[in-house]
Amino acid sequence: MSSTSQYSSNGSSANSGNLFVSFLPSTYTNESLKVLFSPFGEIDSCKVMVDLNTGLSRGFGFVKFKDVASAQYAINSMNGMKVDNKTLLVRFANSEPIQQQQQQQQQQQQSVDEANTNAIASNNVFIKGLPTEYTMDQLKALFSPHGEILESKILTDISTSASRGQALVRYGDVQSASNAVKELNGYIIQDPDKPLIVKFAENDEEKKQSKLNSKRQKLQQKQRLNMRFSPYPSPIAAPITQMYPYYQTMPTLPTLSPIMQPPILTTKTITQDPTNLYVYNLPSDADDALLYRLFSPSGAIASVKIVRDPNTQVCKGYGFVRMLSLPDSYAAINSINGIQVGGKTISVSFKK
What pLDDT does 254 receive?
45
Instruction: Based on the fold, state whether residues 234 and 340 are members of the same structural domain.
Output: yes
Instruction: Based on the fold, state whether residues 177 and 251 are members of the same structural domain.
Output: no
The least confident of 74-88, 100-114, 115-129 is 100-114
Question: 309 in a domain, yes or no?
Answer: yes
Instruction: Based on the fold, state whether residues 234 and 166 are members of the same structural domain.
Output: no
> Would you tell me the crossing angle of helices 174-184 and 136-143 to the nearest 10 degrees?
100
Query: Does residue 316 have a pLDDT over 70?
Result: yes
Q: 91 has which bridge partners?
A: 20
Q: Is the CB of residue 278 less than 8 Å from the CB of residue 320?
A: yes
Q: Residue 351: phi, psi to the nearest 5?
A: -70, 130
Q: Residue 161: phi, psi to the nearest 5?
A: 65, 10
What pLDDT does 307 receive?
92
Instruction: Based on the fold, state whether residues 346 and 250 are members of the same structural domain.
Output: yes
Q: How many domains does the chain have?
A: 3
What pLDDT does 120 receive?
65
Query: Does residue 96 have a pLDDT over 70?
Result: no
Q: What is the residue-wise DSSP string for 109-175?
A: HHHHHHHHHHSPP-SEEEEE---TT--HHHHHHHHGGGS-EEEEEEEE-TTT--EEEEEEEEESSHH
CB-based contacts of 6: which residues, under 8 Å, 6+ apart? none
Q: Which of 59, 198, 182, 179 is nearest to 128 (CA)?
A: 198
Kindly state the percentage of the chain with pLDDT values over 90: 23
Question: 325 in a domain, yes or no?
Answer: yes
Instruction: Based on the fold, state whether residues 240 and 328 are members of the same structural domain.
Output: yes
Instruction: Based on the fold, state whether residues 87 and 134 are members of the same structural domain.
Output: no
- In this prediction the pTM is 0.35
What pLDDT does 351 receive?
83
Instruction: Based on the fold, state whether residues 236 and 342 are members of the same structural domain.
Output: yes
Which CATH number goes with the domain that contains 48?
3.30.70.330
CA 307, 311, 314: angle at the middle one, nearest 5? Answer: 45
What pLDDT does 280 receive?
92
Question: 222 in a domain, yes or no?
Answer: no
Q: 278 has which bridge partners?
A: 320, 349
Instruction: Based on the fold, state whether residues 238 and 199 are members of the same structural domain.
Output: no
pLDDT of 11-20, one tens digit each? 333 457 889 8
For the chain, the 3-state helix, strand and coil shares in percent, each to the nearest 5, are 40, 25, 35
Query: Does residue 318 have a pLDDT over 90?
Result: yes
Q: How confident is the model at residue 73 (pLDDT cuts 50, 70, 90)?
A: very high
Question: 213 in a domain, yes or no?
Answer: no
Last residue of a domain, one of 154, 170, 205: 205
Question: 310 in a domain, yes or no?
Answer: yes
Instruction: Look up the domain containing 150 and give its range.
Output: 119-205
Question: 218 in a domain, yes or no?
Answer: no
Instruction: Based on the fold, state whether residues 80 and 124 are members of the same structural domain.
Output: no
CA 305, 306, 308: angle at the middle one, nearest 5? Answer: 135
Last residue of a domain, one of 189, 205, 221: 205
Q: Is the CB of residue 41 less than 8 Å from the CB of residue 67?
A: yes
Query: Does residue 271 have a pLDDT over 90?
Result: no
pLDDT of 140-163, one tens digit each? 999 999 999 999 999 988 888 889
Q: How far is CA 315 from the centre of its chain?
A: 40
Helix, strand or coil, per DSSP, at residue 48 = strand
Instruction: Based on the fold, state whether residues 44 and 136 are members of the same structural domain.
Output: no
Last residue of a domain, one of 48, 81, 96: 96
Q: Residue 275: phi, psi to the nearest 5?
A: -100, 0
Question: 139 in a domain, yes or no?
Answer: yes
Question: 106 in a domain, yes or no?
Answer: no
pLDDT of 168-212, one tens digit each? 999 999 899 988 988 888 888 876 667 888 888 876 555 565 666
Instruction: Based on the fold, state whether residues 259 and 331 are members of the same structural domain.
Output: yes
Q: Is the CB of residue 91 less than 8 Å from the CB of residue 29?
A: no
Instruction: Based on the fold, state whether residues 339 and 239 are members of the same structural domain.
Output: yes
Run of H or E residues at 64: strand 57-65
